[in-house]
Amino acid sequence: MRKPIGISACLLGTNCRFDGGNCEIPDIHSWPHEWVPVCPEIAGGLPTPRVPAELTRSTNEIISNGSGVINRRREDVSHHFISGSKASLETMKSKGCETVILKSHSPSCGFGLVYDGHFTGKLIERNGIFAQMCVDAGLQVLSSEDMSTFLKVAP
Ligand code: SF4
C-alpha cells in the first residue's frame, strides 16, 4: 500500500501563497496518491496575502536562534515560520508520511535553493525552514523543480 505523501498545499492548488495565488501542478488531482497538504506559513499564523519574507542567515541559525526571517517591511517573522514548520512536521509524522514534495525557492518549503535575503531575486544554496526540519527528521524531501525524480520515487 502506498504511503501518503506530504506536499506544499500551494502545489495542490490552495491559494496560500504570499500573493494569494497558488502553484498548482497540472493534472495533480488525477495522480493516484494520497496527499497530505500543509502550508507552514499559514500554520504559523500568517495571513494570505502576506508581506514576502526571505532568510537572512543560515537555516539552522534561524531555527536555533529564533530570528533571521525578515519580510519586506524589515519585520522579523521567524517565530511564525518556525512554529508553523514544527506544526507541519508533526502533521507529516502523524499521517505517516516518509516523502514530501515541496515548492521550490520558498523560505519555508524551498529545498536546496532559496532567495538570498536581499529581495533581489538571487538564489543561494540553502533550505527553507520547513524543508530543513523535514531533512533533519529523516524524511525524503523532493523539490517541485524536480518532478522527474519524484515520479521515479512515487510513480
Ligand atoms: S509556505 Fe510552502 S505551502 Fe505555503 S505558500 Fe509557501 S511554498 Fe506554498
- 58-95 pLDDT tens trace: 999 999 999 999 999 999 999 999 999 999 999 999 99
Of 12, 16, 107, the C-alpha closest to 55 is 107
Instruction: For residue 151, tell me if it sits in a domain.
Output: no
Number of domains in the chain: 1
Distance from Cα 104 to the centre of ligand 1, integer Å: 9
Instruction: For residue 33, tell me if it sits in a domain.
Output: yes
The span from the CA of 141 to the CA of 78, in Å, is 22
pLDDT score at 154: 59
Instruction: For residue 74, tell me if it sits in a domain.
Output: yes
Q: Could you tell me which residues are beta bridge partners of residue 124?
A: 114
Distance from Cα 54 to the centre of ligand 1, integer Å: 13
Instruction: For residue 108, tell me if it sits in a domain.
Output: yes
Instruction: For residue 152, tell me if it sits in a domain.
Output: no
Expressed as residue numbers, the domain containing 132 is 5-144
Of 38, 39, 35, the C-alpha closest to 4 is 35
Question: Nearest residue CA, atom 5 of ligand 1?
Answer: 17
pLDDT score at 153: 62
The model's pLDDT over 28-57, given as tens digits with 9 standing for 90+, comes to 999 889 999 999 999 999 999 999 999 999
Instruction: For residue 153, tell me if it sits in a domain.
Output: no
Q: In the structure, which protein residues have their CB atom closer than 6 angstroms to any atom of ligand 1?
A: 8-10, 16-17, 39-41, 103, 106, 108-109
Q: Residue 24 above 80 pLDDT?
A: yes
pLDDT score at 147: 74
